[in-house]
Amino acid sequence: MKKEEIKFEYESYNDISELDEADAKLVQAARDVTAKAYAPYSNFLVGAAAKLANGEVVMGTNQENASFPVGICAERSLLATAAMLHTNVPIDTLAVSYHNLNGDSSKPVSPCGMCRQALREYEDRTQQPIRLILSGRDGKIIVLEKSTLLLPMSFGGDDMK
């Protein structure tokens, strides 16, 4: 038997003021767009903003549905919009934030498992890693160089060949 481990590094910032201007602008856009989320059941408003390789910015929000789990997360809402409006254009950086109407919103939010898989697929499709910036409405911010770090040993198209 051989024990192996998976590790990854990420950057951690105390707050938005420590980010460079472009990243701070994207985080603020993700924070602002939470106001357009539709989350009457969870009161957990999530917003995502992405800068594409062509310079365009695309946004998405979570959209809940009384017939759970029919809703869609902000990240997948954004990916679908980007794929439709800017087919095959890679995403350089994607920022995710949230506003928890029931409590604290100061810890970085991380994509759910389904969104992690969708991010991996988008990276595969465009052949470019997606840099992630994870935040709340304020406080600590985490930056990962590629979204696939959140889904080690993942399943993808190459596994079906």
> Which residues are designated catalytic?
75
Separation of first and last alpha carbons in the chain: 28
In the structure encoding, which two tokens stand for residue 84, read together?
């439709």
Nearest to 94 by CA among 120, 61, 57, 121: 57
- 72 SS3 class: strand
CA angle, 108 then 100 then 97, to 5°? 40
In the structure encoding, which two tokens stand for residue 128, read together?
């470019």
Q: Say how many C-beta atoms besides its own lie within 10 A of residue 79's C-beta.
A: 25
